[in-house]
């Protein structure tokens, strides 16, 4: 790995912590922007993030920690954004330096609410960054299993394969395998959509549906995802690849899935507000549901699962009634 290339991680959550952990295996120094100054102080003193994946211990000599996003951006050639999509626009408004000469990779699995764009499109349209300088980091991979050093897989997508290979090499290790893809838009939409389907899986579980129904739900979800992505960006892709189907399955079934947990609470009768208050982390799928539903008004893909989740979360419809009707449209 060339030490000439400098990396920065933007975000203080679990994914940012996992990515910082992966990068520190291969690089002698990385910049890490965290908005929470007390978390930075704690990390410097105790060598772990106090709020997320606290079992991960860092060599703080490798970390250039800062609460100033401009310092992190100025430092790096490659910038990896790993903050919830709902907060991305606000964070970017704190920038006073240019991104024009930077290579941007997104580990964000959602849509930017202010523009209704996936993150790559947001950077391209709002900041005039060419697509060959934009990439996506997707799974199937949970940050919690990276912390436990369990074998995990990443998909690195970019219009420029050399940049994808550079990031893949930077993140790879004994328990991390990374492959590259040229489907930057498709993989990013898949990463967003699987969170919605994970909420659906959680709602079903909360309502008392069993594994038999969950298998039908997931098999319908991957076909629905294929229809949606084909409408957005038509190209040759195998929807059964790990970046699509694999990421969907791990998010829909894993006990680490925030979106499944959120959906489970809704299925058990929590209101959206009460479920959000009880969770300490953001469920990206909540915001993605509204954006995907609105986008599909123009695309016209058949999306009964997205429609069902939207009606429960945003129209206040009874989850039990909605899912009883949904069972009739699945096969």
Helix, strand, coil share of the chain (percent; to 5): 55, 15, 30
What confidence score (pLDDT) does residue 279 get? 83
20 is in an annotated binding site: no
| Percentage of residues in the chain having pLDDT higher than 70 | 98
64 is catalytic: no
Residue 234 binned pLDDT confidence (cut-offs 50, 70, 90): confident
109 is in an annotated binding site: yes
Residue 129 binned pLDDT confidence (cut-offs 50, 70, 90): very high
Residue 190 binned pLDDT confidence (cut-offs 50, 70, 90): very high
What confidence score (pLDDT) does residue 110 get? 84
* Superfamily of domain covering 7-182: NAD(P)-binding Rossmann-like Domain (3.40.50.720)
Q: Say which residue, 24 or 4, is predicted with more confidence.
A: 24
What confidence score (pLDDT) does residue 233 get? 83
pLDDT tens-digit series, residues 68-90: 999 999 999 999 999 988 899 99
Residue 154 binned pLDDT confidence (cut-offs 50, 70, 90): very high
Range(s) within the chain of domains with CATH label 1.10.1040.10: 186-329
Please tell me whether the peptide bond between 9 and the residue prior to it is cis, using omega within 30 degrees of 0. Answer: no
How far is it, in rounded angstroms, from Cα 320 to Cα 288? 22
Residue range 216-230: mean pLDDT, rounded: 96
Residue 225 binned pLDDT confidence (cut-offs 50, 70, 90): very high
Token pair, residue 77, equals: 């050639």
Q: Which of 17-31, 103-117, 233-247 has the highest mean pLDDT?
A: 17-31
Paired with 79 in beta bridges are 8, 104
Q: Is the dihedral of CA 307, 309, 313, 318 positive or negative?
A: positive
Token pair, residue 237, equals: 């892709």
Q: Is residue 115 helix, strand or coil? A: coil
CATH of domain 186-329: 1.10.1040.10
- N residues, the chain: 331
Does the pLDDT value for residue 282 go beyond 80? no
Residue range 206-213: mean pLDDT, rounded: 96
Does the pLDDT value for residue 95 go beyond 70? yes
Does the pLDDT value for residue 32 go beyond 90? yes
Does the pLDDT value for residue 2 go beyond 70? no
What confidence score (pLDDT) does residue 1 get? 45
Range(s) within the chain of domains with CATH label 3.40.50.720: 7-182
Among 194, 227, 231, 236, the active-site one is 194
Task: Please answer whether residues 67 and 34 qualify as being in contact, where contact means their C-beta atoms are separated by less than 8 angstroms.
Answer: yes
Mean pLDDT (the chain, rounded): 94
What confidence score (pLDDT) does residue 3 get? 52
Does the pLDDT value for residue 288 go beyond 70? yes
DSSP assignments along 143-206, one per residue: HHHHHTT--EEEEEEESSHHHHHHHHHHH-BTTEEEEEES-HHHHHHHHHHHHHHHHHHHHHHH
Does the pLDDT value for residue 273 go beyond 50? yes
143 is in an annotated binding site: yes
């Amino acid at each position: 790995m060339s030490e000439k290339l400098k990396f920065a991680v933007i975000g203080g959550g679990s994914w940012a912590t996992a990515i910082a952990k992966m990068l520190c295996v291969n690089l002698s120094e990385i910049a890490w922007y965290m908005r929470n100054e007390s978390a930075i102080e704690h990390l410097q003193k105790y060598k772990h993030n106090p709020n997320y994946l606290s079992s991960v211990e860092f060599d703080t000599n490798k970390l250039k920690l800062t609460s100033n996003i401009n310092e992190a951006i100025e430092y790096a050639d490659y910038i990896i954004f790993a903050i919830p999509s709902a907060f991305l626009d606000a964070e970017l408004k704190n920038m006073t330096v240019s991104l024009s000469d930077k290579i941007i990779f997104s580990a964000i699995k959602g849509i930017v609410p202010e523009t209704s764009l996936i993150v790559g499109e947001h950077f391209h349209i709002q900041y005039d960054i060419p697509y060959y300088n934009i990439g996506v980091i997707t799974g199937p991979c949970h940050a919690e299993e990276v912390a436990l050093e369990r074998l995990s897989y990443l998909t690195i997508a970019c219009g420029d394969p050399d940049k994808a290979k550079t990031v893949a090499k930077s993140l790879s290790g004994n328990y991390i395998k990374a492959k590259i893809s040229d489907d930057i838009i498709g993989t990013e939409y898949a990463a967003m959509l699987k969170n919605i389907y994970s909420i659906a899986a959680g709602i079903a579980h909360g309502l008392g549906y069993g594994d038999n129904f969950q298998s039908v739900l997931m098999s319908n979800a991957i076909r629905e995802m294929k229809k949606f992505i084909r409408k957005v960006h038509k190209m040759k892709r195998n929807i059964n690849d790990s970046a699509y189907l694999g990421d969907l399955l791990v998010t829909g079934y894993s006990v680490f899935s925030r979106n499944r947990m959120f959906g489970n609470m809704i299925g058990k009768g929590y209101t959206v507000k009460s479920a959000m208050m009880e969770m300490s982390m953001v469920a990206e799928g909540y915001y993605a549901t509204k954006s995907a539903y609105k986008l599909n008004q123009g695309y016209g893909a058949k999306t009964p699962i997205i429609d069902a989740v939207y009606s429960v979360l945003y129209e206040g419809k009874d989850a039990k009634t909605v899912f009883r009707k949904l069972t009739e449209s699945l096969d």
